[in-house]
Amino acid sequence: MTHGTSQENITVQASPNLALIKYWGKSDVEKNLPATPSIGITLKNLTTTTTVARSEKDSVVVNDIPVDIERFTPFFDSLREYFDSKDCFSCYSRNNFPTSAGLASSSSGFAALAFGAGKLLDPGVSLDIISGLARIGSASAARAVFGGFVSFPSHAEHADKIHEEHFWPELRIVVVEISKTAKTISSRGAMERARLTSPFYREWCLDSEKIFPKALSALANKDLESLGPFIRSSYLKMFATMFSSEPPILYWKPESLVAIRCCEEMRLKSIGAWETMDAGAQVKIFCLEKDVSKITQVIKEALPHVGILISEPGPGPKEILQKTV
Ligand code: DP6
């Protein structure tokens, strides 16, 4: 199969995909297949802008810093294999939010890259194929290839869109930026350590399968009071595998715990604030639009120095008319 366009470069904007139900651990390390099913939302307002151009050799620059190409080699090799191409690519990428700090920058990064390079090689390529290629780079990126609400079953090769971006117009995500510093251990390294050393890892995988259909159904009903406990259970059990790894992994900062406690207290006062965390110190709170100002006020009072971003379900990657970033 030989595809290809004469187009030499493309600029793509993609947003990170935040998991309500977490992917954590691989069932096939080489193919980067997830061991647990996940559900995520592609976040509006947080963007990665990536220009992908045909080039002599593969190179990637993120926020003006050249990155180690080794991390990208399996992705580029799979891309060339799928499209039966010999093309190499140079990629310039910029995030409008902290990179590698637990805000899913690898999901938007690989989604933008897979979308851009895929479209250069075949403008008619399907999102399922792009999702499968993005997965080779980062499994959470398989979800970020779609806008709105996305599911990614365990062991699957690509993610699936489950609801459109405007499916639940009242849903908001309050992102509490506890730290802008890049994490010291990558999510990839941390989940592999958990898989190999945590005594709770097997239970984590089994439990994730149990809550996945329940969370999907709560989401289909737009029922935050039912969905919230699954969101909470998923991230806390994921962290249980980290705390119990050898050596243990601890992404949390004292301020993360303050934000978690604020959510707990707000829920006691019937404010639906359901927090989650990823591989980093940031806390993201799922809530309804009517509660955003109250939640923001409570967090600001408790943590006056943190940054707060308000997001909502957003679109998937799209080509934009910009040749350089
Ligand atoms: C905690 O997708 O970054 O954000 O596939 O190894 O690149 P790799 O991992 P990555 O892990 C994301 C983990 C998470 C949870 C999630 O997004 O589901």
For residue 319, tell me if it sits in a domain: no
C-alpha separations of 208 from 32, 36, 242, 323 in Å: 18, 6, 15, 42
The ligand 1 atom nearest the CA atom of 38: 18
Q: What is the pLDDT of residues 141-154, one digit of tens each?
A: 999 999 999 999 99
Radius of gyration of the chain (CA): 19
- Do 224 and 120 lie in one domain? The reply is no
Q: Hey, whose CA ends up nearest to atom 8 of ligand 1?
A: 138
Find, among 123, 112, 159, 171, the residue nearest to 289 by Cα. 171
Structure tokens at 55: 């080039």
Is the pLDDT at 164 greater than 50? The verdict is yes
Whole-angstrom distance, CA of residue 219 vs CA of residue 233: 15
Q: For a pLDDT cut of 70, what percent of the chain falls above it? A: 96
For residue 322, tell me if it sits in a domain: no
- Do 126 and 179 lie in one domain? The reply is no
Residue range 1-12: mean pLDDT, rounded: 73
- The structural domain count of the chain equals 2
Whole-angstrom distance, CA of residue 212 vs CA of residue 52: 35
Whether 83 contacts 1, CB under 8 Å: yes
- Do 111 and 214 lie in one domain? The reply is no
The ligand 1 atom nearest the CA atom of 186: 3
Q: Which of 23, 191, 204 to mutate to test the pocket of ligand 1 (most atoms within 8 A of CB)?
A: 23
What CATH number does the domain containing 244 carry? 3.30.70.890
Is the pLDDT at 110 greater than 80? The verdict is yes
Question: Is residue 124 exposed (0-12), middle (13-18) or buried (19+ Cβ within 10 Å)?
Answer: exposed
Lowest mean pLDDT among 5-9, 19-23, 65-69: 5-9
Instruction: Give 69's DSSP letter.
Output: G
Is the pLDDT at 324 greater than 60? The verdict is no
101 falls in which pLDDT band (50, 70, 90)? low
- The range of the structural domain enclosing residue 190 comes to 171-311
1 falls in which pLDDT band (50, 70, 90)? very low
Q: What region does 125 belong to: left with phi over 0, alpha with psi -120 to 50, or beta? A: beta
- Do 23 and 101 lie in one domain? The reply is yes
Q: What is the pLDDT of residue 100?
A: 65
**Residue 150: enclosing H or E segment and its boundaries?**
strand 149-152
Find, among 145, 306, 305, the residue nearest to 285 by Cα. 306
What CATH number does the domain containing 29 carry? 3.30.230.10
**Residue at a domain's end among 167, 191, 223:** 167
Q: What is the pLDDT of residues 33-91, one digit of tens each?
A: 999 999 999 999 999 999 999 999 999 999 999 999 999 999 999 999 999 999 999 99
Centre of ligand 1 to C-alpha 101, Å, is: 12
- Do 50 and 196 lie in one domain? The reply is no
- Do 175 and 140 lie in one domain? The reply is no
Q: What is the pLDDT of residue 2?
A: 43
Whether 310 contacts 44, CB under 8 Å: no
Q: Which of 187, 193, 277 to mutate to test the pocket of ligand 1 (most atoms within 8 A of CB)?
A: 187
179 falls in which pLDDT band (50, 70, 90)? confident
Is the pLDDT at 23 greater than 70? The verdict is yes
Is the pLDDT at 295 greater than 60? The verdict is yes
The SS3 of residue 135 is helix
Q: What is the DSSP string of 240-274?
A: HHHHTSSS------HHHHHHHHHHHHHHHTT---E
What stretches of the chain show up as alpha helix (H) in DSSP? 73-83, 105-121, 127-137, 139-144, 187-197, 201-220, 224-243, 254-268, 292-302
Centre of ligand 1 to C-alpha 3, Å, is: 31
Lowest mean pLDDT among 67-76, 100-109, 185-194, 196-205: 100-109
For residue 130, tell me if it sits in a domain: yes
- Do 84 and 202 lie in one domain? The reply is no
Whole-angstrom distance, CA of residue 99 vs CA of residue 277: 15
222 falls in which pLDDT band (50, 70, 90)? very high
102 falls in which pLDDT band (50, 70, 90)? low
Centre of ligand 1 to C-alpha 237, Å, is: 15
Is the pLDDT at 325 greater than 60? The verdict is no
Centre of ligand 1 to C-alpha 203, Å, is: 19
Is the pLDDT at 182 greater than 90? The verdict is no
Is the pLDDT at 3 greater than 60? The verdict is no
As for ligand 1, residues whose beta carbon falls within 6 Å of it are 19, 22-24, 32, 38, 104, 106-107, 138-140, 187-188, 278-279
